[in-house]
Structure 1
Amino acid sequence: MMVGPLATRKTGAWRALLGALGSLVGLKVVSYVVDSKAISKDFVYDSLNPTTPEWNFGLFTNIICKIIDNVGDEVSKQHWIIFMAIILDNSKLLTLPIGKRLGLPNNV
């Protein structure tokens, strides 16, 4: 996560980092940038609809599922980088509030 005042070259710094990482490993690097002020917390993460008791997966969970689905894809061979504020332990296992567990691959 990069935080700082306006016009301090944060965007340029992370683009340079992505370019260097892509050159280093020889693969296409994809990033997801989320402006936390532009969307609600329920949209970023998951939420429970109080009216219908239906679980709605958020943007973060959908991105993680997309990463997991694409890891074995030998055609694209993409490394995924997500810029989001989340803490995972060394097991790289994300447990959703509904009990679903998502194991993250080593390249995430």
Structure 2
Amino acid sequence: MSIKKDEIKAGQLEQLETGEKVVPLSVPNAIEQPKEPLIYLGPNISGGVLSGNTVFKGGKPAHIDLLIAEQPEIGDLIVPVKSINDTLAKINKVGTAEHQAYQALIKRGTGVK
């Protein structure tokens, strides 16, 4: 049995004949919350793929997820803009995850495989 989106009212669960519950995927007139700006605080990635201090205003672009899949350390260095000072302090403190991520990217030559 299939149900059309317009048959489901916002905020209402409907019981199907099969006993399954259906929850609407979106609520009409819902306001999407803006994503907070993020900043990459790592070294430049060769080839101009990603530069240090790049700000992402609407969340991470899809190509950044591909870079993170190849070099997970990149993801460790993408943080909310409001966390810049804390993250920079951690990058400069030996032994922190952020320091290790930064150093791993430097040692690798920041070239994406």
- TM-score normalised to structure 2 length: 0.29
* Higher strand residue share: 1
